[in-house]
Structure 1
Amino acid sequence: MTRYDLVIRGGLVFDGAGSPPRIADVAITGGTVAAVGRWLPEGARTIDATGKWVIPGMLDVHTHYDAEVLGSPGLGESIRHGVTTVVFGNCSLSTVYAEAEDCADMFARVEALPWDAVHAAVKEHRDWTDPKSYAASLAARPLGANVAALLGHSDIRVAVMGLARAVDERVAPTTAELKAMRRMLTDALDAGFLGLSTIRSSFSKLEGTRYPTRRLPSTYASWREYAALNAILRRRGRVHQSTPNLTSRAELVRYFAQSAGRGRSPLKTTLIAAADVKADRTTARAAVGAAWLANRLGGARFRWQHLPVPFEVYADGVDLVVFEEFGSGVAALNIRDVMRRGELLADETYRRRFRKDLAKRFGPRVWHRDLHDAQIVACPETALVGKSFGQVADERGIHPADALLDLTVAHGTALRWRTVIANDRDDVLDRLQRSEQVQVGFADSGAHLRNMAFYNFGVRLLERVHQRGFMPIERAVHRLTGELADWYGLDAGYVRAGARADIAVIDPAGFDGSSAAYAEAPMPGIEVRRMVNRNDRAVAATLVAGQVLFEYGEFADGFGSTLHAGTFLPAR
């Protein structure tokens, strides 16, 4: 009689294709699903999944784990939430070609990561010279989750042009330099990379001492340069991921046009983000409608990435990316020295600019800038905790902007506050998650360590569907698994005979609302307490390649050190 390595017994099995679920056993041998059916023989180990959901491991397609994976390859904060495959290299940022100092300058400010941590990770662990050896280096590490990668445009632009020329708006790459970038991209695709990531956002700035007020290199590229690289992606059927420039929404037409497929192969294009933004309630409907037109009439293969939970952010003082949206906010973030920044924030001339910027009601933006909708959660003046800056201002007879600046000058990063900037209306969230023009993503896992935590976005989506019933559960599972795997071309996302045994066992009894609660935890290898999600009752087990890595809050022995489960997944 056949004896399997492991049998997951009696769960409600979702195949990842959107088919209705069925009670079945899942048998695993050699890291692969050997059979799905009733009354299968025992395995060397059995997991009782009675009353639980057995689903394919979820995909997180928008992460910035590029540095973390080098020193902490388990990626436990994703594994603990049933995510078994992550994609990094988003937003033009990767660590394939650029040197350590350049990588740190590019990642640190825009992704709110410690400069020293990024620099050390790349410098100490670098044992690759090109995309092929980079993929091999990752595959050789004791990975928890499987990893897949995009090649960052800023990465290759700096490697070819040097940082100084790559962030000079007067300089365009020479013919030889553009040819070199095309060769780098081709080599990456040959090595199994999913595609290319770019960025146009004017809010994305460098860190470091060399060019701290310049934008990321990819933002200085012309559309001619993008077109030269996109031609390779189109020919190979690979993905272009990007972040548009919100101050020039007309540029979105260019993305739609480059994705269009009438008379040629469409280019897979995915942008961040479809969101119900508080600052502009027309954004979500307009974004989805424009994508529908591009796909239906233009033959495009365009998708917005969408975070399926309220977009709640936290800030220490004024350290938050949304301050990059306006001039006075940028001026403050450009000053990294605490004392000098405090002097600026105390200056009345500066404050007049700041108040004027907050009062603007027109023009593209993400943050609503309503300081009555910004709650203080930590402050040495403990009586203020729980109040908004607007309330504090009303009590003190001052402008809300002055309340924020006064408290930041007085307490620096000891002042911590929160607000929700998007996705606060359930009915709109429901519509977005049903839309074929969006894909579930944009968790930014591994970045913005003190600002936001959406590592468990998939579990939270399943909980919302379970409680609200706005789509069939099998459809939600498909959106988190097979749909993403197929779109990105990955060997993942399904529970069926012959598939990789990357599986999450979900316990719906754990859907108690705690998944959205605030929590912090030490970050491995870095002296930072990062924001996390902790809902360990909802994830009964996470398996990668048939190995049980996590069960109800506990990781397997050797996780992230000696236990090697995940691998580098190439594009199909």
Structure 2
Amino acid sequence: MTHDISLVIRGGTVIDGTGAAPVQADVAVAGGRIVAVGEVTARGAEEIDARGLLVTPGFVDIHTHYDGQAMWDSHLAPSSWHGVTTAVMGNCGVGFAPVKIEDRDRLIELMEGVEDIPAPALHEGLDWQWESFAGYLDALERRPRDIDICAQLPHAALRVYVMGERATRLEPADAQDIVQMRGLAEAAMRAGGFGFTTSRTISHRTLKGDPTPSLRAAEDELTGIALGLRDACSGMLELVSDWNTPDAASEFAMVRRIVEASGRPLVFSLNQRHDRTEVWRELLTLSDEAAAEGLPIRPVFPPRPIGILLGLQGSQNPFSGTPGYKVIAHLPLAARVAAMRDPAFRRRVLSEDPVAGSNFPLLARLGYARMFPFGDPPDYEPPESGSIAAIAAREGRSAAEVAYDMLLADDGQGFIFAALVNYADYTLEPCREMLSHPNAIVGLGDGGAHVGFISDASFPTYLLTHWGRDRASGRFPLPELIRRQTSDTARAVGLHDRGVIAPGLKADLNILDFGRLALERPTMHFDLPAGGRRLLQRARGYVATIMSGAVTYRDGTATGALPGRLVRGPQAAA
């Protein structure tokens, strides 16, 4: 071997990302690439004893929202704490480029409302040294990071850039608008964008209640933009939708036509809704039919419920909208806890109804039957008997009383878990079916977003622990779970240079102590620009994470190495 070997990982159980059976082997690294897998006799500048440990490719997360954080932070936690070495951002049609000076605040307001990223943090953290999407990529490229990032073109920003106020009034794009958006989409892909994303869900709104500008975009507009990707011969399409315009089959037929016209692959978000519990199966069938005809349309799904964490430090709790709580909402946590422990104040709040429009709309629909205590370790598949409603019935108290006391646990640091989707029947069997499906892709962790009430960037760890070890039934082989978040996600976005442990490919790797691998309970931190808060969830059992051949984390602690870079467009294997 003639390479100057920088690192040898010795004697680990290698799960290579292809789905193949594990093998015990050494892995040698030189120049940021894997140069040998097997028995390596040469010594490396650094050696890691991985006997008894798993060695996997670094995880590739195709649905994150680090569009803002990546501008000011070199450590893209929490994703980098969970073995992620490549993250794709710009999802859900929201982001910060292209942008005109007069529209900067508008894009911040939209990101704050849709993704729950505090506006003060964005105002302080973004330097706006760009107008075009290419300029935004240049700005991203100037900062080293602990993971690689890939950027996509967001529809809301593109539409506002071209149409101005007409976009936010949800007016249809005219022929000239569409021509301009098509050209900008082509330019964005040629500059290194990975795709175009759009949202058609009514839940994506500003805090003022204004819908995302892309909500009612017509088929001719979406097709025109997709043709821009065809012109560039690059990029994927991403869609978030309620699938009700007017129904799932009709909207999926439109998606098919867009893919047929453009020839570009498309991914769409897939969840089991609590109000339309079987639509996800219909969409899965429709995507199967499309795939059988050679149309590259794939669903992206989460491996557990997407759930809101309700707490006194978060963006919402069950009493946020009551007049009594509003009086103390501005107080520091300790003062609020003291006030809430006062019997008279407790009686007042428990007797009040929320002020109209104060609470997150889905909370009213969920009710206490879909809310659960959130302990340590966290349980993301709790039984129906563990719901707040069930606990209240057993104890002879109101559900509101039970919830109130849960919020005061740990001096006000307690959380309530409210399962929004994928838990209509109090089981993760729908997720198991999605995970069993060869055309479906794991994702929707939303790393960097929903910082006040969701902490789902831990999906990579959960996928391994719950579905590979801890669930009582319906578990999956580890090689398949590793494949689903390495080679499968990497290939889905056109990254052929990573996701598999093989000579010549990028040396993005994880070393795991699978027996110790576990999620910790999320905690609130106040480390965003302007003192903004964010929920962060750590994990135990990551012995090392290696990025481009450099060890970036040892036992969950950052080493200071920052080899991560902006990736410009799809990458070939060599």
Q: Does 1:89 align with 2:84?
A: no
Where does the alignment leave 5 or more consecutive residues of structure 2 unmatched? Answer: 331-347, 376-385
1:51-70 aligned at under 5 Å gives the runs: 51-70=52-71
Query: Are the structure 2 counterparts of residues 18 and 204 from structure 1 closer, same or farther at C-alpha, using a change threshold of 3 Å?
Result: same
Match of 1:488 in 2: 493
Q: How does 1:215-226 map to 2 (within 5 A)?
A: 215-226=211-222
Amino acid in the other structure paired with 2:95: S
CA drift at 1:509:
1.9
Are 2:481 and 1:476 aligned? yes
1:90-489 superposed matches below 5 A: 90-98=91-99, 99-122=103-126, 124=127, 126-162=128-164, 164-169=165-170, 171-207=171-207, 212-234=208-230, 236-248=233-245, 250=247, 253-259=250-256, 266-275=263-272, 277-296=273-292, 298-316=293-311, 338=326, 369-375=366-372, 388=388, 417-421=416-420, 422-423=422-423, 424-467=426-469, 470-489=475-494
Amino acid at match of 2:65: H
Distance 2:186 2:276 in 1: 40
Give the Cα–Cα distance (whole angstroms) in 1 for the partners of residues 31 and 137 of structure 2.
23
Query: Shift of residue 173 of structure 1?
Result: 3.1
Task: Provide, for residues 60-111 of structure 1, a one-character-per-residue CA deviation record: whole Å limited to 9, x for no partner.
Answer: 1111111111111221321121100001100111212124312211100111
> What secondary structure, in the 3-state scheme, does the structure 1 residue paired with 2:149 have?
strand
Summarize the Cα distance change of 1:76–1:149 in structure 2 as closer, same or farther, 3 Å threshold: same
Report the Cα offset of residue 444 of structure 1.
Answer: 0.8
Q: Post-superposition shift, 1:315? A: 2.5
CA deviation string 1:359-388 (max 9, x = no partner)? xxxxxx89862323324779xxxxxxx993
Cα distance in 2 for partners of 1:175, 1:149 equals: 27
Alpha-carbon separation, structure 1, partners of 2:46 and 2:260: 54
Distance 1:351 1:75, change over 3 A: closer
Amino acid at match of 1:8: I
Secondary structure in structure 2 of the residue aligned to 1:80 = helix
- What is residue 76 of structure 2 aligned with on the other side? 75
- Structure 1 counterpart SS, 2:115: coil
CA RMSD of aligned residues (A): 3.9
Partner Cα distance (2:476, 2:234) in 1: 30
| Residue of structure 2 equivalent to 1:18 | 19
Q: Distance in 1 between matches of 2:355 and 2:524?
A: 36
Name the CA shift for 1:434/1:457 in 2 (closer, same or farther; >3 Å).
same
Q: CA 1:351–1:471 in 2, change beyond 3 Å: closer, same or farther?
A: closer
Conserved in 1, the CA contact under 8 Å of 2:181 and 2:224? no
Contact 1:237/1:268, CA 8 A, preserved across alignment: no
Distance (whole Å) between structure 2 residues aligned to residue 466 and residue 403 of structure 1: 33
Relative distance call for 1:178 and 1:523 in structure 2 (3 A) is: same
Alpha-carbon contact 1:141-1:564 (below 8 Å) kept: no
CA contact (8 A) 1:259 1:269 kept: no
Aligned to 2:554: 551
Distance 2:519 2:402 in 1: 32
Contact 1:58 1:480 in 2 (8 A): yes
Q: Compared with structure 1, are the counterparts of its residues 205 and 450 closer, same or farther at alpha carbon in structure 2 (3 Å cutoff)?
A: same
Structure-to-structure mapping, 1:26-65, within 5 angstroms? 26-65=27-66
**Are 2:535 and 1:531 aligned?**
yes
Task: Check conservation: 2:302, 2:431, Cα contact below 8 A.
Answer: no
Q: Summarize the Cα distance change of 1:404–1:256 in structure 2 as closer, same or farther, 3 Å threshold.
A: farther
Distance verdict in 2 for CA 1:339–1:566, change over 3 Å: same
Give the partner amino acid of 1:145: I
Distance 1:351 1:30, change over 3 A: closer
Work out the CA distance in 2 between the residues paired with 1:248 and 1:556. Answer: 49
Contact 1:279–1:367, Cα closer than 8 Å, also in 2: no
2:336 is matched with: none
Please say if residues 167 and 220 of structure 1, whose CA atoms lie closer than 8 Å, have aligned partners that are also in contact.
no
Q: What percent identity do the matched residue pairs reach?
A: 24
Q: Structure 1 residues 322, 152: closer, same or farther in 2, change over 3 A?
A: farther
Alignment correspondent of 1:541: 544
Give the Cα–Cα distance (whole angstroms) in 2 for the partners of residues 426 and 437 of structure 1.
19
- Equivalents in 1 of 2:556, 2:445: separation in Å? 21
Q: Is the 8 A contact 1:466 1:473 kept in 2?
A: yes
Instruction: State TM-score, norm by structure 2.
Output: 0.80
Offset from partner CA, 1:291-349 (integer Å, 9 cap, x none): 223322x53222221111233321247987999xxxxx9x979x9x956999xx99x99
Query: Does the aligned pair in 2 maintain the 1:103–1:119 contact within 8 Å?
Result: no
Structure 1 distance, partners of 2:34, 2:364, is: 46
Separation in 2, partners of 1:37, 1:439: 30
Relative to 1, partners in 2 of residues 1:293 and 1:387: Cα closer, same or farther, differing over 3 Å? closer
Cα distance in 2 for partners of 1:264, 1:223 equals 11
Q: Which amino acid aligns with 2:537?
A: N
User: Aligned with 1:550: secondary structure?
Assistant: strand
2:123 alignment partner AA? H
CA distance 1:19–1:270, shift in 2 (3 Å): same
Structure 2: how far apart are the matches of 1:146 and 1:353?
Answer: 43
Rounded to whole Å, the distance in 1 between the matches of 2:547 and 2:301 is 25
C-alpha contact (below 8 Å) 1:136/1:568 kept by paired residues = no
Unaligned stretches of 5+ in structure 1? 324-328, 359-364, 379-385
Does the 8 A contact of 2:54 with 2:512 survive in 1? yes
Q: Aligned AA for 2:565?
A: G
Quote the offset at 1:187 in angstroms: 0.8
The code of the aligned residue for 1:149 comes to A
C-alpha distance in 1 between matches for 2:163 and 2:568: 30
Indicate the SS of the match to 1:4.
Answer: coil
Query: 1:225-280: CA deviations, max 9, x gaps?
Result: 111112233452521111113554615533444335997664412111234x4555
**Residues in 1 aligned to 2:374 and 2:431: alpha-carbon distance in whole angstroms:** 26
Q: Is the 8 A contact 1:278 1:368 kept in 2?
A: no
Of residues 497, 503, 506, the one that matches 1:497 is 503
2-structure distance, mates of 1:35, 1:403: 57
| Among candidates 514, 519, 541, match of residue 508 of structure 1 | 514
Give, in angstroms, the shift of residue 282 of structure 1. 2.4
SS in 2 for 1:33: strand
TM-score (norm 1): 0.81
Amino acid paired to 2:186: T
Contact 1:294 1:302 in 2 (8 A): yes
Distance change >3 Å, CA 445–CA 178, structure 1 → 2: same
Assess, with a 3 A threshold, how the Cα gap between structure 1 residues 396 and 58 changes in structure 2: closer, same or farther: same
Q: Cα deviation per residue 1:534-560 (whole Å; 9 max; x = unaligned)? A: 222x21111111110001121113x5x
Change (3 A) 1:38 1:253: farther
Equivalent AA in structure 1 for residue 417 of structure 2: R
Q: 1:234 to 1:392 in 2, by over 3 A?
A: same
Check 1:437–1:352 CA distance in 2 against 1; reply closer, same or farther (3 A cut): same
* Change over 3 Å in CA distance of 1:292–1:260 after alignment to 2: farther
- Aligned equivalents of 1:471 and 1:407: distance in 2? 34
Whether the aligned pair in 2 keeps the contact of 1:72 and 1:525 (CA below 8 Å) is no
